[in-house]
Amino acid sequence: MKKDSKFIPFALPDIGDEEIQAVVKSMKSGWLTTGPVTKKFEAEFAKFISVDECLAVSSATAGLHLALQAINLQKNDTVLIPVNTFVATAEVVRYFDAHPVFIDIDFDTMNISIDYLTAYLENNDTSNIKAIIPVHIAGQACDMDEILKLAKKYNLFVIEDAAHAFPCKYKNQMIGSLQSDFTVYSFYATKTITTGEGGMLVARNKKHLSLIKKLRLHGISREIWDRYTSNKAHWHYDVDVLGYKYNLSDLCSSIGREQLKKANHFFNKRNSIAQKYNQAFKHLDIILPQQKREDDQHAWHLYLIRTKNRDQILKFLKEKGIGTSLHFIPLHLMTYYQELYHHKEDDFTIAMKSFSQLISLPIYTKMSDENIDYVISSLIEACSL
């Protein structure tokens, strides 16, 4: 088949003049690192998701790392995570020489399976288990009520990996405003809003929040903005914990503030694309993503389909000039974790079945109607072969 001349990338950030001018304004201000713009971004994001306070960080990976540091994760502790997630969810656990325990997924949602999670907790020694990290895959909220019940029963922390989940709702509540101990968002270039690189962390416990505020900037007792703008003895600070360089700059935050203003518009566009896809594909022999509960709000960060002839369709779409991806290669297949834990492929049967059928289609706000129609017609053609 001759390759089509057009190319539709898998994802593109939607950056306008507003973001560009905001960055220019920040640069002209003379304050480039974490400062007043970041503080405004934190406050505006907190208001958007209906929480009192949140902290901007350099990435979602950094946010997850800081959350685990705040709960004092120790060597040989374990953290329960879905096997179907990006590698960052597991790697932050290994930073502590602790162990991510992979849990199989629910086939319909591709989120962590409550049944498998419950079975693991009921049939294993839980004395070293410290936390659960549920991941809201593609922007579909996990079954948080059940996860929180299990966490309470076994005295575990809950750290929501919300890298895909903005703006996402679980039973009409914004992800980030639930009773979890932490929620961590990503603003990577492909996410629903972006700062290029960056993330946001929510913590319910004020002591955790205060600790993370220090940890994200070398453990220094006063923030840079305070030290350089205060009329008091601004030169003095202390370090009483070992910290990291995980702060977000005002340059990035200036982009984030403008993106946040557009968040609902962006969501409406992605939701519209998802509904067009659902309508166009409903008669095809493929499994479509669906919102799990009527009172949820799927963020539609990703549009994931499952099909029996996955590789053939991927090849066809590539030849048609359509960018696709896979979310995700199950972590137990990765060489590092294979060598460390000696998992077999069939240890996680649901994740493997899902992965063997999985395709991620483009769903981003800069897609034109022509782009959307082309993806639709191409997939229909691919499924007819």
d(CA 336, CA 332): 9
Answer yes or no: do 94 and 188 share one domain: yes
144-154 residues labelled b (16+ CB within 10 A) or e (exposed): beebbebbeee
Same domain, 62 and 178: yes
Clarify whether residues 256 and 140 are in a common domain. Answer: yes
Nearest to 313 by CA among 363, 374, 382, 380: 382
* Residue 22 resides in a domain: yes
Q: Say if residue 368 is in the same domain as residue 288.
A: yes
Assigned domain for 52 exists: yes
Where does a domain end: 261, 281, 312?
A: 261
Residue 364, domain member (yes or no): yes
Same domain for 161 and 90: yes
Answer yes or no: do 222 and 79 share one domain.
yes
CA distance 164 to 174: 13
Count: domains in the chain: 2
Q: Which residues neighbour 221 within 8 Å (Cβ) at sequence distance 6 or greater?
A: 214, 237, 238, 239, 240
Residue 12: inside a domain = no
Would you state the pLDDT for residue 221? 80
> What length does the chain have?
385
Q: Is the domain of 139 the same as that of 161? A: yes
Residue of 191, 214, 269, 320 with catalytic role:
191
Of the residues 203, 228, 261, which one is the last residue of a structural domain?
Answer: 261
- Structure-token match 């998802």, residue found: 274
Is 357 among the domain residues? yes
How deeply is 132 buried, as exposed, middle or buried, from its count of CB atoms within 10 A (0-12, 13-18, 19+)?
A: buried
119 and 219 assigned to the same domain: yes
For residue 237, the domain's CATH number is 3.40.640.10
Residue 229 main-chain phi, psi, to 5 deg: -125, -5
**Do 281 and 249 share a structural domain?**
no
Look-up of token digits 């962006």 = 266
272 & 282 share domain: yes
Q: Does residue 8 sit within a domain? A: no
Q: Which residues pair with 278 in a beta bridge?
A: none
* pTM score: 0.95
Residues 85 and 166 in one domain: yes
Residues 112 and 254 in one domain: yes
CA distance linking residue 257 with residue 160, whole number of Å: 23
**Quick check: is 191 catalytic?**
yes
Residue 369 lies in a domain: yes
97, part of any domain: yes
Q: What is the largest CA-CA distance in the chain?
A: 73
Which residues span the domain enclosing 343? 263-384
How big, in percent rounded to 5, are the helix, strand and coil portions of the chain? 45, 15, 40
Among 209, 239, 261, residue at a domain's last position:
261
* The predicted structure's pLDDT at residue 303: 98
> Would you give per-residue pLDDT tens digits along the chain (385 residues)?
445 558 999 999 999 999 999 999 999 998 999 999 999 999 999 999 999 999 999 999 999 999 999 999 999 999 999 999 999 999 999 999 999 999 999 999 999 999 999 999 999 999 999 999 999 999 999 999 999 999 999 999 999 999 999 999 999 999 999 999 999 999 999 999 999 999 999 999 999 999 999 999 999 987 655 555 555 556 678 999 999 999 999 999 999 999 999 999 999 999 999 999 999 999 999 999 988 999 999 999 999 999 999 999 999 999 999 999 999 999 999 999 999 999 999 999 999 999 999 999 999 999 999 999 999 999 999 999 8
CATH number for position 328:
3.90.1150.10
